[in-house]
Structure 1
Amino acid sequence: MKHRFFIQFLWYFAISAFSIHLTCAQSDPIKFGKVELADLQMKTYDKDTSSDAVVLCDYGKAFFNGNLQIQFERIIRIKILKKSGYDWADGIIPFLKNTGAELKITDLKGVTYNLQNGEIVKEKMSKEAVFSEKKSKNFYLQKFTLPNVKEGSVIEYTYTTVSDFWYEFHNWTFQKEIPVIWSEYRASIPDYLSYKLQMSGYEAPHITKTEPANVSFGTSNVSGKNYRWVFKDVPALREEPYITTIDDYVAKIEFELANISVPGVSYKSFSNNWTSICENLLTDESFGGQIKKTGFVKDIINKIKTENKEPLTQATAIYDFVRKSIKWNEVEDISSDATKKAYETHSGTTADINLLLIAMLKEIGLDAKPVLLSTRENGKVLPFYATTTKFNYVVAHVKIGENTILLDATDEHISPGMLPTRCLNGIGRLIDSKGGDWIVLDPRERASQLINVQMAINEDGELSGKIEKSLAGYDAWTHRKEIIAIGKDKHTENLKKEHPTWQISKIDLINLDKYTEAFSEKYELTMGDASQKAGNIIYLKPLISEALTDNPFKHQERKFPVDFATAMDRTYVATITVPEGFKVEEMPKNAIMSLPENAGRFSFMVAVNGNTIQVSSKISIRKPIFYADEYGALRELYAQIVSKHAEQIVLKKI
């Protein structure tokens, strides 16, 4: 529909006696087929000697061609440094067809360059190396592989795409999993079309330039702007622990059509506002329509209302009913065509389940509204634009008195008021008839565990006793899910495989099915891997098997945030009885370390009382997100934890 409207709206202005192609005063940074000898002679990339490949240049430009299509042209050249970089010789380009409007690929060419006896030898990509793969009804992938790739090869390929989808101007990514020496993108856009430009990532551009110019638009030359963005010496985008999706951190630019304006003729806005979005959603059969459908569960609602008089118990009862009645099919969505079918088949999407939940909560008389969000894997939502395209999940927002709770009935093991970790992604959008509002998705629960150890060590260094793990909040939820999924017997088997020297005589699981209670796991055992005997000396690991042995933060610097999703507490308390005839010869020194602004704390204490040793380790991370300027202190805190946890207690025979 948008494509047809654009054609009718703009064609009048695209007629001219001559055609002027996009030209830029700036010369292109790369010419296809013009490889440099120095690139082939390169052995390593000085700025990242560990890299298995490096992008020498990635250049793209987009403009409107003579057929009022967005034409995008790209050339990319890559140096292969190691065998592990061979995968960069495989390319994938998405395209659409059979939709009326199309996104098609033309002029795909590829070449591999190798150095033989000091001479540059090139080999072109054959037609047989290119094939298409159908992913869905209209969505395809063009795949290809460049030939004869070796360590030291330089590969390059070029292609053009032509798109009828003007409201989706071609986005560009400046950063990759390997270093990029030069990435440049140019866009030529007529003033008739106004796009919102969103630059994101944690790298700064080398050049950003916007110039007024006469630009190509159909068969006309009209006033517009030429844009140029250059990123230079971009480091590889590496996977780090504690992130959402890597796409949240990559340096890129994205376009969204805001309006079309032809002076004196017409104006068409494509920018939404939340009032109109909410109105459309609430009147849409697949969203608001489903919230009104409760006839098939009317008897259940009446029964719950009769048995529960308080709003909170009513909400909890409905929540329990929905999550036990419909199993989530792992599909994330914000709209549903069949909440009734999901109920009848006991299987449904996030929207099927949670829109029914909202419908039942409203029907019983509670103030329940939908909240749209984007999962951590789907990426962050930016609050600057009014759009639903970034959302992939819906949950229920319920106001009871002065308090509000968020409910997600896709998981039958989580406590009411807790969202699954996948949903903890910054902000969500409340949808109501007044335009809604942004709400913060900060978790109200922490990830907490208390480990209590009562052990006695014999003169051979073998320990025996009891371990009790008490878990609450997100730790309890995670552990419950794992055990319920595989069963107690398999869990015990896995525990024994993980600790082959443990001889477990008894395991008790407490409150496994009581999701609003703390969960405990108790076991009685003997073990031989927590100490080592050498002559008349016993070296004892004070944290038994619970020591943090590896710092997750390997790199000296980190540009993007550490996102734990939740705050956390890790407490370990042990009482260890020393065997008769032994004394404590050495023990770790006590230590306390705190992060600035009380954001975290680590304490480690060891004390001797008669023939017993008391050990205490407490780690508290008091907020879920740490930014780049806080990374150094956080990394050092974890380094101290690893160091202290590695220290041993030395027992000596008297």
Structure 2
Amino acid sequence: MKTYLSILILLISNLCFSQKFLDPPKLDIEDLKLTSYTKNPSEAAEVLYRSYHYYITDGELHLDVISRVKIYKKDDAKKFLEEEISTYNGKNNTNEKITSLKVNTYNLENGKIATTSVDKNSKYQSKETKNTTVTKFAFENVKDGSVLEYKYSVLSPWIYVIPRVMIEDEVPIRYCEYVFDTPKYYGYNINYKGDLKPVNQDVSERVLYGVDCRTYRFAYKDLAPYRNEKYVNNIDNYRTSVRAELNSTDFPITGSGSIYDGGIKGGFKSYGVSWGDIRKQLYDDENFGDELKRTNLVKELLPQEIKSIKDPKERATAILKFVQTQYSWNREYAAFTDKGIKNLINTKVGNSAEINLLLILLMRSADINAEPVLLSTVGRGLLTSYSPSIAMLNYVLAFTDIGGKPTLYDATSKMTLPNIIRPAALNYYGYVMTKTDAKQINVLCPGKSTTYLTVDAKLNQDGTVTGNFSDRDTQLYAMMNNERYDQDKAAYQKESYKERYTFPFTNIKTELLDNNDFQTSFDFDSDSFVDGIGGKMVFNPLLFLYNKSHEFDQTEERRSPIELYTGYDKIKKVTVTLPDGYIFENVPKSKKFRTEDSAIQYVYKVTQEGNKLTVETTTTVEDPVYPKEYYPAFKQIFDNITKMEGQVVTAVKK
């Protein structure tokens, strides 16, 4: 009986869902009357309708997009008030083009729908890089209660990879659809990622645009928001998405042989269906494989003192430092060279592929077996073993295996070390691409980074506290902070210390130490740490280092992994010396706690020697990544840390 009832409910729900594909409903005045989202009045906005329609005709890719968003709270919905469209600028007149763009704001005025169209002067183009043009526009006359709508079309010659479409958003979605229509002679992988199931789907063959086509259509209804979460490097890795990628063609005609001009040679042709196939494409490409053959360019580059280093690990590290010293990254991520390694050698500036391919060539010239690792940066998204994609690759690293110890090198930053690479490249996996093999490897930060926060303070009889403070980082943390400091010294000190600590301090000094640790120190003199109560001085023995709160405070169910870039130890050590004639009372007791598997640990250690009290805390997180199921453990541990570090101590006269 239950089975029949379930089937009946499913049939009824399908009958009730009447939205047709590519049939946007008319704007309903009732939507303009809404003042809040029914299910959750705190929502700032709601997507009423969103449609992505990709289709291929005459060897070109068309995209039609429609978006309609209800604004409930303008000040909290800034993401939707300005939009941008990125188009790719290729070589030989292969540019993507926006063929139409309409932008409207709808408001309810005197019981009727009033339309405000965006003036042409409000639209502008900003060329972000040499290969990308971004068209930006802002909605006009937006109020609480407005409905914002844009429609645009893009024409593209690039049909190899159809851009990924994100289905979920940080606000609720009433209806969203994805449609991709392609002639049958193009074969595509439809890469579907995420937990959502469409309420309506149609994967079939039919005649469209005058030819036999395959159509892929997915519709979604009443989606809950998938909000940004703290400690997630790229939330789009976990939201539901759809992406199509060409895997084969089977044309009955003869043409130029280009997959971009609609004149593909007849017969069946397969494209990158395995990582081995992609390896071959890389080595056949003049901007990758041919560049790795240019050994003559680097014969005389390395100083003899580097070539003569006996230990191969030390030699590899010296070559890394040589490239870091001599060449600079132009801040462009790439899997292929642009102007080539020869140009890099001459100009001293190049993209990430040029920098690290040169590093590989130099290592090989010094009898070190180095190979390229290809990966996708954090911003580009995760690579997957089951869905090989050359279009997802946008970064190169150097890889060695000396004495059975695999090591990664990245010369794009002046601060990297062996296995300490740019955080943008720490994206779970990459592929070592040799001339004969493609092998997946982990690309995560090994070991742990340590932060030492140290305070040596003196409590004065008038309740003021004087002392000095140092903040020292090691490993990946040292590299990350050093790079931030190197880019803008004043901004780094302001954001990290002057805005964080409101008490007076002087002699601030930031420096890279000889052992590659990174440190900031200052002196302080403050009257804000101690409360006088009944002739006693009460204060937190951690002074300004205690945790008043923490960031594992998510109340909604965790949906994404916890990503930290690196495991870490955070060690706080505060020593407070009392003035003569004073003693401590109510000294907190030492304590420690941990998870059952010791993945997260905390120690609160108190020692007293005469009129000196030292509190040392150690927070240990063993790994750079944890599954979402660990979130309650993080929350519980850090709740307890906050409670422990909120304890106070009393200083009284003898």
TM bin (shorter chain):
0.7 to 0.9
Cα separation, partners in 2 of 1:285 and 1:514, compared to 1, 3 Å:
farther
Q: Distance in 2 between matches of 1:455 and 1:345?
A: 51
Task: Show the 5 A alignment for 1:569-588.
Answer: 569-588=569-588
What 5-or-longer segments of structure 2 have no aligned partner? Answer: 1-16, 254-265
State whether residues 182 and 234 of structure 1, in contact with CA within 8 Å, keep that contact through their aligned partners in structure 2. Answer: no
Task: Show the 5 A alignment for 1:130-141.
Answer: 131=123, 133=125, 135=127
Q: Distance in 2 between matches of 1:36 and 1:492?
A: 49
Cα separation, partners in 2 of 1:114 and 1:301, compared to 1, 3 Å:
closer
State whether residues 426 and 442 of structure 1, in contact with CA within 8 Å, keep that contact through their aligned partners in structure 2. Answer: yes
State whether residues 333 and 351 of structure 1, in contact with CA within 8 Å, keep that contact through their aligned partners in structure 2. Answer: yes
> More displaced, 616-625 or 448-457?
448-457
Amino acid at match of 1:564: L
Cα separation, partners in 2 of 1:151 and 1:479, compared to 1, 3 Å:
closer
Amino acid at match of 2:611: N
Q: Distance in 2 between matches of 1:472 and 1:586?
A: 35
- Residue 623 (structure 2) aligns with: 623
Q: Secondary structure at the match of 1:598?
A: coil
- Residue 543 (structure 1) aligns with: 542
* Aligned-residue RMSD, C-alpha: 3.7
Task: Show the 5 A alignment for 1:34-433.
Answer: 34-63=26-55, 70-84=61-75, 85=77, 88=80, 90-94=82-86, 105=98, 108-109=101-102, 111-117=104-110, 119-123=111-115, 125=117, 128=120, 131=123, 133=125, 135=127, 148-161=141-154, 163=156, 165-169=158-162, 171-189=164-182, 191-201=184-194, 204-207=196-199, 209-216=201-208, 218-220=209-211, 222=212, 224-238=214-228, 240-261=229-250, 266-295=267-296, 297-301=298-302, 303-304=304-305, 307-336=308-337, 337-433=339-435
Amino acid at match of 2:617: S
Report percent identity of matched pairs: 25
Q: Distance in 2 between matches of 1:306 and 1:126?
A: 63
Which string of whole-angstrom CA distances, capped at 9 and with x for unpartnered residues, describes residues 325-383 of structure 1? 11223222222233233233333322222111111110111111111122223322222
State whether residues 191 and 387 of structure 2, in contact with CA within 8 Å, keep that contact through their aligned partners in structure 1. Answer: no
Which string of whole-angstrom CA distances, capped at 9 and with x for unpartnered residues, describes residues 627-649 of structure 1? 22111211222222223223322
Q: Across the two proteins, how many residue pairs are aligned to each other?
A: 621
Amino acid at match of 1:34: K
Cα separation, partners in 2 of 1:470 and 1:219, compared to 1, 3 Å:
closer
The alpha-carbon deviation at position 108 of structure 1 amounts to: 4.8
Which string of whole-angstrom CA distances, capped at 9 and with x for unpartnered residues, describes residues 457-502 of structure 1? 2222233445455532223334444556667999699867865645
Amino acid at match of 2:168: Q
- Residue 18 (structure 1) aligns with: none
Q: Distance in 2 between matches of 1:157 and 1:484?
A: 41
Task: Show the 5 A alignment for 1:453-602.
Answer: 453-467=455-469, 469-481=471-483, 499=501, 501-502=503-504, 504=506, 512-515=513-516, 518=517, 526-556=525-555, 557-602=557-602
> More displaced, 288-297 or 482-491?
482-491
What 5-or-longer segments of structure 1 have no aligned partner? Answer: 1-24
The alpha-carbon deviation at position 191 of structure 1 amounts to: 4.4
State whether residues 460 and 533 of structure 1, in contact with CA within 8 Å, keep that contact through their aligned partners in structure 2. Answer: no
> More displaced, 369-378 or 94-103?
94-103
The alpha-carbon deviation at position 145 of structure 1 amounts to: 5.3
Amino acid at match of 1:76: S
State whether residues 126 and 136 of structure 2, in contact with CA within 8 Å, keep that contact through their aligned partners in structure 1. Answer: no
Q: Secondary structure at the match of 2:633?
A: helix
Q: Distance in 2 between matches of 1:247 and 1:489?
A: 29
Q: Secondary structure at the match of 2:302?
A: helix
> More displaced, 122-131 or 327-336?
122-131
Q: Secondary structure at the match of 2:331?
A: coil
Q: Secondary structure at the match of 1:301?
A: coil
Q: TM-score, normalised by structure 1?
A: 0.83
Q: Distance in 1 between matches of 2:216 and 2:485?
A: 58
Cα separation, partners in 2 of 1:525 and 1:489, compared to 1, 3 Å:
farther
Cα separation, partners in 2 of 1:123 and 1:223, compared to 1, 3 Å:
closer
Q: Secondary structure at the match of 2:280?
A: helix
Which string of whole-angstrom CA distances, capped at 9 and with x for unpartnered residues, describes residues 133-192 of structure 1? 363788655555555433212333444555554444464322234322221223445544
> More displaced, 520-529 or 55-64?
520-529
Q: TM-score, normalised by structure 2?
A: 0.83
Cα separation, partners in 2 of 1:44 and 1:162, compared to 1, 3 Å:
same
Q: Distance in 2 between matches of 1:153 and 1:308?
A: 69
Which string of whole-angstrom CA distances, capped at 9 and with x for unpartnered residues, describes residues 573-600 of structure 1? 3332333443433344544332342211
State whether residues 161 and 391 of structure 2, in contact with CA within 8 Å, keep that contact through their aligned partners in structure 1. Answer: no
Q: Distance in 2 between matches of 1:487 and 1:166?
A: 45
Q: Distance in 1 between matches of 2:154 and 2:342?
A: 43
Q: Distance in 2 between matches of 1:485 and 1:90?
A: 28
> More displaced, 425-434 or 630-639?
630-639
Q: Distance in 2 between matches of 1:523 and 1:89?
A: 43
- Residue 6 (structure 1) aligns with: none
Q: Distance in 1 between matches of 2:118 and 2:428?
A: 47
Cα separation, partners in 2 of 1:130 and 1:514, compared to 1, 3 Å:
closer
> More displaced, 463-472 or 426-435?
463-472
Q: Distance in 2 between matches of 1:521 and 1:403?
A: 33
The alpha-carbon deviation at position 314 of structure 1 amounts to: 1.7
Q: Distance in 2 between matches of 1:105 and 1:606?
A: 65
Cα separation, partners in 2 of 1:321 and 1:330, compared to 1, 3 Å:
same
State whether residues 30 and 75 of structure 1, in contact with CA within 8 Å, keep that contact through their aligned partners in structure 2. Answer: no
Cα separation, partners in 2 of 1:122 and 1:86, compared to 1, 3 Å:
farther
> More displaced, 31-40 or 402-411?
31-40
